[in-house]
Amino acid sequence: MATNTTSVAQAANAPNKHGDANTLNLQFRWIILIGLITASIMEVLDTTIINVALPQMAGNLNATTDEIAWVSTGYILSNVVVLPMTAWLSSRFGRKRYLCFSIMLFIVASFFCGTSTSLIQLVIWRIIQGAGGAALLSTAQATLRQVFPKEQQSLVQTLFILGIVVAPTVGPTLGGVITDNYHWSWVFFINLPIGLTAFSLVYFFLHDTVEKQSAGAIDYIGILLLTVGLGSLQFVLEEGERDDWFNSVAITRLSVIAAISLVALVFWEISPKNSHPVIDFRVLKNKSFTAGLVLFLALGFGLYGGIFIFPLFTQNVLNFSPTETGLVLLPGGLATAVSAMLCGRLLSLPPEKRVDPRLLIVFGVCLFLWSMWDLGHLTVISGEPDTRLALIIRGFGLGFLFTMINNVIFAALRGPEIAQGSSFINLFRQLGGSFGIAVLNTYITNMERFHRYDLVTNLTATNPMYTERLHSISSALLAQGYSTAQASMAALGVLNGQVQRQAAVMSFNDGFLLLGVSFIIASPAILLLRVSKAPPPAGAGH
């Protein structure tokens, strides 16, 4: 990239030059940062804010639980498919143009989601919304690498990570307040002022510093294989548990299609015959970057998996309201903000005073494991105080993990690799979340059956604790005016409900512990991370 020696006044007269665009970006870089962070927060927030509103949507749109789940599934499907193509789309159409189009597409889709009067309308607009949301993370993050000088990257990326990690935690809180006090459509309408703010800041202050890719052959085969492969995979992950996985013919066929398409995609994209690949897999030759992707897969598994099962546990087992659940999660989000800012401060220290980022990543893993161990030992009488400390520790650990892993793997990328690397990072984070939700959903369901069977086998007439408990419940019911026969039947029903609730608690405990195990399995990848002793060469991020 040519060194910028043009004055701001000259840049204003010729904004299409590379150097002039760099000057304008440097001049307005903090405004651009606000715009891109706002857009990213809007996208991430939208993935979790609707979860608590789904029951209300189902009631208003006369949809079943399985049908309304497509509101989430449709969004994630299109988002996952478009994410790997964001680097190519940004290069072909121009970064600013692609970002502005994506933000506006997200805003328009949000409006029509809120005004939908049928499930089909809502799902269609959610699919469109997901396609627009893909660039709001990957392209935005790559843009910040190009807009800011290398000495400010630690602080800037820390601020960006804040939005990505904190927003999913704040989402259930905001969604709970809206659901409890307003109509579900407001979980979409809230995107309008946020999106318009982001669009205005990006449109008026961001200037492209890289020429668009010259019009050439479009990799239609790659796009087709990518769409079929990732689309089929995501569908399997979203619907597999409902359809009993490979006992379903459709799930089995789609799994085979996904495997064949994705393998064919890799071979086609690296083939010498493909002169314009839609995905550049060469970036995966970087071992440090690939190790970081494994860690981001585990992070997505832990972050979105935890956010998925915790509300189910608190609302279905502990009888929390949606607002109460959101407020319980909120301190953990604030803890993430604190730890991320602390990481930014540590990364800004002179090289000789910095702590090895890999040690801080290990520290973050230990905090996460601690929190999962605590959450994995809750009981049927647990309340908000019992979960508060574990969630704060979890949030504090996530700040270290996201910030430090992000910093290490981006430091290993140069020039054009940054945009492609950013799309891979966000794809793996999203896929990790999808795997997490799919695995945990099936695992908790199976473990609940297992624990219930195990508990029921101990409820025999020879078990003194069982007979004593049954007699106690029957006596209480007799005192309320029940007949002997009615009291006996009702006592069995009460005891059955208690067994079911206990089995549910034990299965969720197993789910939290599984999240901890996933991090242990992924931890060896930390050893493959490489930390550069010297700063990156000048212009590496431009």
DSSP assignment string, 275-289: SS-SS-GGGGG-HHH
Residue 284, classified by CB atoms within 10 Å of its CB into exposed (0-12), middle (13-18) or buried (19+), is: middle
Same domain as 341, residue 235: no
Instruction: Give me the helices (H) in 115-219, please.
Output: 119-133, 138-147, 153-181, 186-189, 191-205
And the tokens for 202?
Answer: 């990006």
Residue that terminates a domain, selected from 275, 292, 307: 275
Phi, psi of 540 (to 5 degrees): -65, -30
In angstroms, the Cα distances linking 264 to 181, 231, 275, 439 are 50, 15, 16, 26
Between 136-145, 296-305, 475-484, the lowest mean confidence (pLDDT) is in 475-484
Same domain as 434, residue 458: yes
Same domain as 155, residue 270: no
CA distance 111 to 251: 33
Task: List, for residues 473-491, the tens digit of each pLDDT value.
Answer: 777 777 777 777 777 787 7
Instruction: Give the residue among 130, 19, 33 at the shortest CA–CA distance from 72.
Output: 130
CA distance 404 to 115: 41
Number of structural domains the chain divides into: 3
More confident residue, 458 or 38: 38
Between 205-214, 286-295, 327-336, the lowest mean confidence (pLDDT) is in 205-214
Phi, psi of 80 (to 5 degrees): -65, -35
Is it the case that residue 37 has pLDDT exceeding 80?
yes
pLDDT the model gives residue 532: 63
Residue that terminates a domain, selected from 275, 303, 322: 275
Question: pLDDT exceeding 70 applies to what percent of the chain?
Answer: 90
Between 201-205, 293-297, 381-385, 480-484, the lowest mean confidence (pLDDT) is in 480-484
Is it the case that residue 159 has pLDDT exceeding 90?
no
Cβ atoms within 10 Å of 464's Cβ, excluding its own: 8
Same domain as 2, residue 99: yes
Give mean pLDDT, residues 65-91: 80
In which region does residue 245 sit, left (phi positive, over 0), alpha (psi from -120 to 50) or beta (all else)?
Answer: left
Same domain as 206, residue 299: no
CATH of the domain at 180: 1.20.1250.20
Same domain as 292, residue 261: no
Is it the case that residue 8 has pLDDT exceeding 50?
no
Q: Degrees (nearest 5) of the Cα angle 503, 505, 506?
A: 65
pLDDT the model gives residue 367: 94
Confidence class of residue 192 from pLDDT cuts 50, 70 and 90?
very high
Same domain as 408, residue 294: yes
Give mean pLDDT, residues 515-540: 73
In which region does residue 62 sit, left (phi positive, over 0), alpha (psi from -120 to 50) or beta (all else)?
Answer: left
Confidence class of residue 182 from pLDDT cuts 50, 70 and 90?
confident
Give mean pLDDT, residues 142-149: 80
User: Which range marks the domain in which residue 127 is found?
Assistant: 1-216
Q: Degrees (nearest 5) of the Cα angle 309, 294, 291?
A: 155
Same domain as 529, residue 451: yes
Is it the case that residue 125 has pLDDT exceeding 90?
yes
Confidence class of residue 215 from pLDDT cuts 50, 70 and 90?
very low
Same domain as 388, residue 442: yes
In angstroms, the Cα distances linking 402 to 271, 295, 432 are 34, 9, 14
Same domain as 181, residue 227: no
Same domain as 289, residue 152: no
